Structure 1
Amino acid sequence: MGKGYYISKHLATAAMVLAAIALVTIIALSVVYNREKSKNAAKFSKATTLPVFPTPKTSNEPWDKYRLPDTLSPQYYNVTLWPRLVKNANGMYIFTGISGVMFTCEKKTDLILIHSNKLNLTVFKGHHAKLTGLSGVTAPAIKTTWFQSETQYLVIQLEGKLKPGKDYWLYTEFTGELADDLEGFYRSEYMENGEKKIIAITQMQATYARKAFPCFDEPGMKAVFHITLIHDRGTTALSNSQEISKTNNPSLNLGPHNCLTETIFGPTKRMSTYLIAFVVSDFTYIDAKDKKGVLVRIWARKKAIEDRQGDYALNITQPILEFFEKYYNTSYPLSKSDQIALPDFNSGAMENWGLVAYRETALLYDPRTSANGNKQRIVTVVSHELAHMWFGNLVTVKWWNDLWLNEGFASYVEYLGADYAEPTWNMKDQTILYDLQSAFAVDSLTSSHPLSRKEEEVNTPSEISEMFNTISYSKGAAVLKMLSEFLTESVLRIHAVDQTPGIKLPYSVHEIMNRWILQMGFPVVTIDTRTGNVSQKHFLLEPEAVVDRKSEFNYEWFVPIKWMKKGQVQDQLWLLQKSVSKNEWVLANLHVSGYFRVNYDLGNWERLLSQLESNHQVIPVVNRAQILDDAFNLARASIINITLALRTTKYLLHEREYIPWEAALRNLNYFFQLFDRSEVYGAMQAYLKKQVKPLFEYFGTISSNWTTVPSGHTDQFTQIIALSLACSTGVEGCRELTRSWFKKWMQNPPNNAIHPNLRSTVYCNAIAAGGAEEWNFGWQMFQKATVAAEAVKLRSALACTKVPWLLNRYLEYTMNPEKIRKQDATSTIGYIASNIIGQPLAWDFVRANWDYFFKLYGTGSFIFSGLIRDVTYRFCTPFELSQLKRFQKDNAETGFGSGTQALQQAIEKTTAKIKWLEGNKEPVLQWFLSESA
């Protein structure tokens, strides 16, 4: 199908067909269960290895293509899985399962391709599956079966043809490893009350359902799923649907060490395989019912629930569901909403329909140890995932090339849901920081890509994983926010694309949005107040870079511009249609409603700077952040002088708002990492010390000498910036303050009086100033931490030490899951790389162990992009560029998975930095020297 939404049809199936399916399934299950009882063994059956064939370099055979043919359409699955939470005789954790799928033949074929990966399938009369015709249809005999490794298919060649319009039943039995690889059906381990606990959990997105059972593993291949889980008595089984029966089945007791329960779940909605979920654990929960009777449950480790760490998530889930029901004008599609916090989870969260999975840091909140930022993260992540229950789950993209529709939309409306749940936080304003400016950073490179890519560009698991990136999430959100701004939110929410009652547009929505969706990048809009001329140009950080990707729109956009002059809001104008008044004070992209940067003639820049210094509050808060971010990035692209950009920071002496300070800090941190190995660093530190000192003193005053925190939500974030930047630049009294707090904690570990908001900064500064004693204490506290948010603060702070041997030891710890959980290994390396001393150590470590990490996490893992970005962020010299290119060449055979594009971006960014520094290092040094005197 073409680009856009894929809305599954609710296909009616005749009662006779359903009865046949049920009968076949019941018989199959009975046979397997009886076989197990008679064998008194720990497997459903003896599994054998299929013949395995790699994919040739060039082949036209269907099994050598990554996309499924359009010959078969799944309708219904019956899946029974039995995870073992103890090791077998071979020292492995395994699961066994049986699966049946009813599919309809759409086109005549003698071939069945079904995804399967890392499963050993049972042989049935020489073959690895059984095929049955339904409703009196005779199925052709199976000729041969094999496993196609590269494309991950179980290939079933038939003696005859399947008939179009007829239904068939494919049955398999299999064994898989319940590995700790964070993919498919996997295990997680954690300690509770001195006892090791094992749980079995899933992560199917994007291409991992095939690791749990054979399935048609594409998002457009929706079906109904009937899930049954067999598990140890005393554990709880969860899945997408509510359980309909739970029995202690004596026929499944395979010996004195096994005491089993069988939990059967109701049929799911018609849904994609990547949304399937199941968990077996001894977790407990808290619950409530919303106004319409939907059961809401928060699941977590028993200790976490006892400590009431799930209360906040439960409290916000109900209003967020209520908001989205109104927003979509559709009732919540299911009868229950389970949300579960997992000790090991590769993603931040996953929108499994009816059973949303989270990292503990994204769902659990303990006011005694969790910071305000942890609370904000929970409300935004919960809102994001619940938005998917409608947009993504009920309505789904056909293929991963249009992932932005799913993730971009959820990333946009997460702020609306969060704002409804926490109306005093001004969440909508923060999109400028966490989406728009983040997207700009990537979309200004020639290695970027359009929101919607061609289907043929996204095939392999690693290419699919690459789509889960800043463009799909953050640019998608920013472009949809822009659409909402010029249409209004009510029109966007309710009406179809080109039905815009009451909204006058110079072009159709289709014409406008195609330019933002089908071509990469964004424009810099230049306004010349001397002539009134308004123009645009494709913004690139490296202006002379060659863009290889062609665009039918020649990298021009229809740009909606909200603006003000002399502090007064003006009517919206569209670029290519109007010009602005001459010689007047102009600020464009008012409230940062559009996805573009803005440049002005020098005279207007001077007037803006003068306004900031005389009365910055005339300019809206988000536009103050915009001016800072645009100026620095225009300077990085050599469009304006770097000293002009630096001058935008002078007014910060008077700024007290979070969003402008955060925007400034991000750009200044870029400069810190660019210059912290050169003579520019000292002068830069001296200037920033002068700029942040009033902010540090202000918060010292209003917090009674740092003994309290402000009441305002974003004021608490600004207080953190004040403490962090003051300590890093050497403001008098700051480092002494943080060291004294940490020392008191070391003297009395049970009594940590450091406020949770300030702990990350305090821990980092104290460990950086100390030695092995402080580091070892931090490590002990990390190991003892029972709240995930506190553990993250400590894990990050341990990377702040300036002692090389401690950093090297810490890097080695990332290869030991007993010390650093596998889900946290690459982010820990990233923390170390952010330390000027740790960066070369982390880079050498990653290069030396690339094969290890690539095999450990698999080619389809999401983590490689962030890992490459983190360890190369400081690169700005010709030697470092040559190292990057050598790394790319040396590992070409192994590959880079989801990090392929990130590596190309690192090369592009490093090249741009080298060129920029040649002409700008000396002016930057002289400016800081003059301003810090």
Structure 2
Amino acid sequence: MASADREVLPTAIKPSHYNLSIYNLDREKFTYDGTVDIDVVIQENTDSISLNSKELKLSNASIKLNSRGLTLETTDFSHDVKSQVVKLSFPEQLPAGSSKAVLTINFSGLLNNEMAGFYRSAYRNRDGKDDLMYSTQFESCDARRAFPCFDEPNLKATFGFNITIPENYTALSNMPESESKTAGTGLKKVTFDTSPKMSTYLYAWACGEFDYIETNTQRKYNGKQLPVRVYTTKGLAGQGKFALDNAAKIVDYYSEIFDIEYPLPKVDLLAVHEFSHGAMENWGLITYRTTAVLYNEATSDSRYKNRVAYVVAHELAHQWFGNLVTMDWWSELWLNEGFATWVGWLAVNHFYPEWDVWGQFVTESLQTAFQLDSLRGSHSIEVPVKNALDIDQIFDHISYLKGSSCIRMLSTHLGVDTFLKGVAAYLKEHAFGNATTEDLWHSLGQASGEDVSGKMSNWIKVIGFPVLTVTERPGEIHIRQSRFLSTGDLKPEEDQTTWWVPLMITKQSLTASVGDISSLTTKEVTIRGLDTSHYKLNDGQNGFYRVNYSPERLAKLAEVKKSLSVSDRVGVIADAAAMAVAGLGSTTGLLSFLTGLEDEESYLVWAEIIEQLGKCRSVFAESSPEIEERLKKFTLYLVTPAVKKIGWEFKPGEDFLTGRLRALLISAAGSAGHSGVIAEAKCRFKLYTSGEDRSALHPNLRLAVFRIAVAEGGEEEFEAVVKEYLSTTTVDGREICLSALGRVRKLELIQKVLDFMLSDKVKAQDKHTPAIALASNHSARRALWGYIKAHWDTIYKQFSGNIIVLDRFVKNTLNKFASQDVLEDIERFFQDKDNSGYERGLQIVSDSVKGNISWVNRDKDAVAKWLKENIA
């Protein structure tokens, strides 16, 4: 049952086809019944069959040996709850070589509300009444929660499916409907076409009162255009138009660049009201959190437009990379997620070049990956995975964002066209099967003629990433690579890795005498003959590494910032900030560097500036209110001219990034105490929330203004946002309200937010939103931790049914502290708890807080002195 590195099912039985029937849906008791017929191949003599089952009641089972005309009834069900395996025993041996055997199991299941397996989602329908829809979420190991199955990614099979539902319901699954017929009073039985060979985690179905909108691809597949649909509960379908238009053109784009036509006869996108992830790539029936697929041009914040375009692109990429070709085992999850993340951004950049997509990637995705991978508690991209709980913990920024960053680095080095040529070969060779990381490297190596496996091995198999420390001498630079730890306490034994590092030196600094310096393959190197008057490593921030420049070089880069791309400007700021945190640079050096950026015009660069100033304020506020106040004044010094220039009004035809910049600057200015911005925000907030003038607040400014009003106000503003939360009909409205509520400063209001967060008015999928906002709010951080301790049993009960949600909650609410006493308190509290499924999250918390403590202890006096001397 267990191999050396993973817990897997015995190899005696292999499935080839499932025929699954779901019926007797009880929408009051939340139960259902089912029967599954599994065509199996008996590969070894055995008197038992083991398969996966979780929270199911199996009533009887039998196996029909067609080759012998014999049916054997199960004599015993043996459940191992921990491993989620049920063993079916039979009265005699099942002979090896029986390829026409059918295992039949009758079972009952729960329509849970934990966003896993076959589950229910609550929503308010268009008549204002409480209602339910039903859908599935099987990745990674929850197909076994819906029906007994061989729930491993490399045990692929074909699927037939039917479901009996109320006649007013619509049923959906991976394949098109083949038949619908009456099945008793008020019921119908819907049957679907047989699927291609696929993994259990990609199977899906849903039912409810749905509407849809439809379009077709431009390309023809097997002689006809593919139907593309967005399904929603009734009354919301129109808000799926933006996602629909993107989905149709992205399917055609991927079919072209992968040189393989979309493999299924339809593309369905379904908005689900309760969802633990952002979306799920079920083959042919992709499910989404509502804010990741619905968008209203008139009422939605434009940042959700960006999100919808990207998430649609990401999930469609999986239809090839992950679904058509699936990783062999969960240890290579990054093959699915890293690639889909990179190619998702590639598609959005193709269709929306004016959004500066790769600048967004550098500002958001790349920096987030760096942050996690600079901790000891990180993990390698390709990580050993033993069981289901281990699997859930690697759906994180390493698999998605470090994985995609390494793909981006490699594709830049090889050339995107060459890279995609290798990807196409990989997909064709392994179609409808499983593959490994080495299979991908082999195909890319053949396409490029390079040793891709050798170059990428350490990036995939080793924790962490390098920082390149640059020392300058006249006409030359010396580069040394070492592992970067944000805690700044790297030990010699932790610095044994030598990465292949593409240097990507800006071309204008290269001269004929430099020679080949395309990459660093040793611990250090000296590059001579370089024009050092203007150079930068990691051009475009395409490499997954940081650079540590001298203060003098940083000053020179600030002087020539106009000649640097947006991505490069972001990268220089982010790297300088990271050096300050780790003690390889200084916080005062970072602040000095930022003083030269007040005339910046790019939204993405401003986002990085404000992010880093926010981190400084958040961390140093715990040690000194005076430092926090002076950092607020410094922020005002930087943003005031910019916010005055951009103003409050949105102009007709204004581009996407300008709108984002306005919201960012207003939010930052208000947070830093800008009296004019605060007064204007309060006025617009009052007009909007009172209903006197709903046009007083542009959709893009709702979050900024709500945050300012809540932070500066009291009970009245808090109640106004709660009322808005409970009554809003905009798709993004609830998420915006919850994020704003986390900005409260008064203790009694902090308590109210916490109680509201745990109440049944906030869905489990959304509870982390106010919690993260409170954690980032130094006025509320300790109260949040006290509340978590006092209400841990309730929190654990609400989240533990879906361990990914619990892990996300723990690591994102406790990682902002900079206090030794709080760190020790956290460690004491969880010492006697069952940490299964979120122990990695606790390690991330510990590493993050230790890094913050070191940063404050090292730099607080120097920061206080610099601020006193430079900020009045």
What is aligned with 2:460? 517
Shift of 1:835: 2.7
What is aligned with 1:932? 871
Gaps of 5+ in 1: 1-59, 123-127, 254-258
Shift of 1:771: 1.9
What is aligned with 2:540? 591
When residues 297 and 504 of structure 1 are mapped into structure 2, their CA distance, relative to the original with a 3 A threshold, is closer
> TM-score, length-normalised on structure 2?
0.92
Provide the C-alpha distance between the structure 2 equivalents of 1:186 and 1:432, rounded to a whole number of angstroms: 37
When residues 500 and 190 of structure 1 are mapped into structure 2, their CA distance, relative to the original with a 3 A threshold, is closer
What is aligned with 1:665? 610
What is aligned with 1:84? 25
What is aligned with 2:167? 233
Shift of 1:62: 9.5
What is aligned with 2:430? none
Q: Is the CA contact (8 Å cut-off) linking 2:689 and 2:724 kept in structure 1? A: no
Deviations 1:70-107 (A, max 9, x none): 222110011111263531xxxx2111111111111222
What is aligned with 1:881? 823
Amino acid at match of 2:832: D
Shift of 1:498: 5.5
Q: Is the CA contact (8 Å cut-off) linking 1:63 and 1:148 kept in structure 2? A: no
Q: Is the CA contact (8 Å cut-off) linking 1:63 and 1:151 kept in structure 2? A: no
Deviations 1:525-569 (A, max 9, x none): 122221532221111112324598x89xx3110111111276679
> Is residue 622 from structure 1 mapped to residue 563 from structure 2 by the alignment?
no
Provide the C-alpha distance between the structure 1 equivalents of 2:667 and 2:34, rounded to a whole number of angstroms: 53
When residues 521 and 61 of structure 1 are mapped into structure 2, their CA distance, relative to the original with a 3 A threshold, is closer
Q: Is the CA contact (8 Å cut-off) linking 2:381 and 2:461 kept in structure 1? A: yes
Shift of 1:139: 5.8
What is aligned with 2:32? 95
Provide the C-alpha distance between the structure 2 equivalents of 1:364 and 1:85, rounded to a whole number of angstroms: 30
What is aligned with 2:109? 176
When residues 594 and 170 of structure 1 are mapped into structure 2, their CA distance, relative to the original with a 3 A threshold, is same
> Is residue 575 from structure 1 mapped to residue 515 from structure 2 by the alignment?
no
Q: Residues 75-474 of structure 1: matches in 2 within 5 Å?
A: 75-82=16-23, 84=25, 86-87=27-28, 92-122=29-59, 128-136=60-68, 138=70, 142-167=74-99, 168-192=101-125, 193-249=127-183, 252-253=184-185, 259-291=186-218, 292=220, 293-305=225-237, 308-454=238-384, 458-474=385-401
| 154-163 vs 688-697, which moves further | 154-163
What is aligned with 2:478? 533
| 148-157 vs 639-648, which moves further | 639-648
> TM-score, length-normalised on structure 1?
0.86
Identical positions, percent = 29
What is aligned with 2:851? 912
Amino acid at match of 1:109: T
Deviations 1:215-246 (A, max 9, x none): 00111111111110100111111111100001
| 100-109 vs 877-886, which moves further | 100-109
| 367-376 vs 562-571, which moves further | 562-571
Deviations 1:677-732 (A, max 9, x none): 322111111111111111101102xxxx5354771222222111211111111224
When residues 502 and 81 of structure 1 are mapped into structure 2, their CA distance, relative to the original with a 3 A threshold, is closer
How many residue pairs align between the two structures?
Answer: 837
Given the alignment, which residue of 501, 511, 524 partners 1:559?
Answer: 501
Deviations 1:759-804 (A, max 9, x none): 1001111122222222222212211112221221122222222233
When residues 235 and 693 of structure 1 are mapped into structure 2, their CA distance, relative to the original with a 3 A threshold, is same
Amino acid at match of 2:864: L
Deviations 1:823-864 (A, max 9, x none): 212333223333333322221222233333333333652122
Shift of 1:137: 5.8
Amino acid at match of 2:172: L
Given the alignment, which residue of 790, 794, 798 partners 1:848?
Answer: 790
Provide the C-alpha distance between the structure 1 equivalents of 2:722 and 2:26, rounded to a whole number of angstroms: 29
Q: Is the CA contact (8 Å cut-off) linking 1:63 and 1:113 kept in structure 2? A: no
Provide the C-alpha distance between the structure 1 equivalents of 2:605 and 2:392, rounded to a whole number of angstroms: 33
State the secondary structure of the residue aligned to 1:76.
strand
What is aligned with 2:640? 693
Provide the C-alpha distance between the structure 2 equivalents of 1:815 and 1:877, rounded to a whole number of angstroms: 26
State the secondary structure of the residue aligned to 1:698.
helix
When residues 498 and 149 of structure 1 are mapped into structure 2, their CA distance, relative to the original with a 3 A threshold, is closer
Q: Is the CA contact (8 Å cut-off) linking 2:61 and 2:73 kept in structure 1? A: no
Q: Is the CA contact (8 Å cut-off) linking 1:439 and 1:470 kept in structure 2? A: yes
Two-structure CA RMSD over aligned residues (Å)? 2.4
When residues 601 and 793 of structure 1 are mapped into structure 2, their CA distance, relative to the original with a 3 A threshold, is closer
What is aligned with 1:74? 15
State the secondary structure of the residue aligned to 1:79.
strand
What is aligned with 1:18? none
Provide the C-alpha distance between the structure 2 equivalents of 1:510 and 1:827, rounded to a whole number of angstroms: 40
Shift of 1:499: 6.8
Provide the C-alpha distance between the structure 1 equivalents of 2:673 and 2:749, rounded to a whole number of angstroms: 24
Q: Is the CA contact (8 Å cut-off) linking 2:445 and 2:453 kept in structure 1? A: no
Given the alignment, which residue of 630, 635, 638 partners 1:683?
Answer: 630
Provide the C-alpha distance between the structure 2 equivalents of 1:318 and 1:349, rounded to a whole number of angstroms: 17
When residues 216 and 853 of structure 1 are mapped into structure 2, their CA distance, relative to the original with a 3 A threshold, is farther
Provide the C-alpha distance between the structure 2 equivalents of 1:547 and 1:315, rounded to a whole number of angstroms: 53
Provide the C-alpha distance between the structure 2 equivalents of 1:154 and 1:346, rounded to a whole number of angstroms: 27
What is aligned with 1:864? 806
Q: Is the CA contact (8 Å cut-off) linking 1:567 and 1:618 kept in structure 2? A: no
| 234-243 vs 779-788, which moves further | 779-788
Provide the C-alpha distance between the structure 2 equivalents of 1:601 and 1:726, rounded to a whole number of angstroms: 31
| 530-539 vs 585-594, which moves further | 530-539
Q: Is the CA contact (8 Å cut-off) linking 2:421 and 2:447 kept in structure 1? A: no
When residues 65 and 331 of structure 1 are mapped into structure 2, their CA distance, relative to the original with a 3 A threshold, is closer
What is aligned with 1:902? 841
Provide the C-alpha distance between the structure 1 equivalents of 2:672 and 2:291, rounded to a whole number of angstroms: 30
State the secondary structure of the residue aligned to 1:230.
strand
Deviations 1:635-690 (A, max 9, x none): 21111232222222112211010221112222222112102232211111111111
Shift of 1:606: 3.5
State the secondary structure of the residue aligned to 2:847.
helix
When residues 138 and 838 of structure 1 are mapped into structure 2, their CA distance, relative to the original with a 3 A threshold, is same
Q: Is the CA contact (8 Å cut-off) linking 1:710 and 1:716 kept in structure 2? A: no
When residues 629 and 419 of structure 1 are mapped into structure 2, their CA distance, relative to the original with a 3 A threshold, is same
When residues 85 and 765 of structure 1 are mapped into structure 2, their CA distance, relative to the original with a 3 A threshold, is farther
When residues 72 and 858 of structure 1 are mapped into structure 2, their CA distance, relative to the original with a 3 A threshold, is farther
When residues 183 and 498 of structure 1 are mapped into structure 2, their CA distance, relative to the original with a 3 A threshold, is closer
Provide the C-alpha distance between the structure 1 equivalents of 2:307 and 2:608, rounded to a whole number of angstroms: 18
Provide the C-alpha distance between the structure 1 equivalents of 2:110 and 2:311, rounded to a whole number of angstroms: 30
What is aligned with 1:740? 683
Provide the C-alpha distance between the structure 1 equivalents of 2:393 and 2:492, rounded to a whole number of angstroms: 20
> Is residue 542 from structure 1 mapped to residue 487 from structure 2 by the alignment?
yes
Provide the C-alpha distance between the structure 2 equivalents of 1:398 and 1:925, rounded to a whole number of angstroms: 54
Q: Is the CA contact (8 Å cut-off) linking 2:34 and 2:106 kept in structure 1? A: yes
Q: Is the CA contact (8 Å cut-off) linking 2:228 and 2:268 kept in structure 1? A: yes
